[in-house]
Structure 1
Amino acid sequence: MVRGATALAAPRERLDVSALLSAGGSEAIFEIADELDGPAAGFGARLRALLRARSTELAQVFSAPCLEIRYSDKYLFNPLSIRLLTEVVAAFSDYDTNVKVQTLAAKTGGGARTGPWLHRDWADLVTRTAVMEQSLVEVVPKVQVSQVQSAPHRRRLEFRTPRGSGTIFFDQGMGSWRVTDEHHDHASSISEQVTSLKRPFSVLNGLDGTFLAVRLD
């Protein structure tokens, strides 16, 4: 949970994250309910604003765009996760940010959950990778996507800004947010899929919510 000395919070009481990060601690956990719900456009901006609002330390670190972002997530298999990742990268970056994304080259532990919906997997991960690369390049030109045969369960975003560096650990990555019956044609051309992913739709967090942890170096 949170490293360093701190009083236990009462049930449902929010921890004073600002105090944790500024009083000798370097890690804090954020519970996320509906704070990021809303239009997919702006999802990443809402995340960045939430982190900055919860801590003066994070507000300072994220007062400038990241110089470098490295995101690792073994579960980037569906169009919804790609759209939300693109929004996060866009919110924390600018034109000169170096972005590296690592994910699995093939799904393990069961077949793809396919279907004509935004939250369903690509059967062809070559197409997945091409759509992801093109979507990211349109917001940040310096992008490198690498595929590996195995990866840890944890999803993490390592960041470096002119004012600090650290890691955001996501409990469920982009997978905690849902859409309702949003169609997606996984067999259309790469350019058509990238364009389709830009259309307006809304996302909702799961009923149980999720959490993320931030560690400053």
Structure 2
Amino acid sequence: MVDKIKVMIVDDHQMVRLGLSSFINVQEDIEVIEEASDGQVGVLKAEKFKPDVILMDLVMDRMDGITATKIILEKDPSARILILTSFLDDEKVFPALAAGAKGYILKTSQAHEITEAIRKVANGEDVLSESVKEKIAEHEHRPHELYDDLTSREMEVLRELAKGESNQDIADALYISLKTVKTHVSNIFVKLKVDDRTQAAIYAMNHKLVESQV
């Protein structure tokens, strides 16, 4: 008897976990051994149960999928993580792949496409949906911009900064500490090669990273 591919599902929607488990568990060679409702629980269970493949959602409470992916791979570099999400924007795709995910597919994928992706990732292959491949190709052919080096959180801070918000306002809006905001602002200045908030705001406007306030 062939050993089944052991899968853990990390997703904050119970119905999504139930649906995934239902069609995965009817496969002869794949089984769901564990589930987690957010990234923080996913990190703990990944270390405990050592699944062959982790199906990882991105937007979740307490800890998002990108952060969870980074932590899991720091603890176990051999872990194989397949992102399964509804999001296709740059701020999700590229950080997730940079974090070490072996694959990135959308929840709109057919059931057989998801199970096939699980098999490939378990076998050590990288798997990307066609739409993700197209986005990567577009990115590779686009001139590198300074803002490409900003993290998703730094981009959020920049957008708030460009609206004229104070550090405290940004901290309140993003639910982070004032100290963390100051660190992000300093990093933004360095990465965008600007000297102050006004120059950063002008850069954001010129590159259409935020809606014009005029």
Give the structure-2-normalised TM-score: 0.27
The higher radius of gyration belongs to 2
Give the structure-1-normalised TM-score: 0.27
Greater share of helix: 2
Greater share of strand: 1
Which is bigger in relative contact order (C-alpha 8 A, separation at least 6)? 1
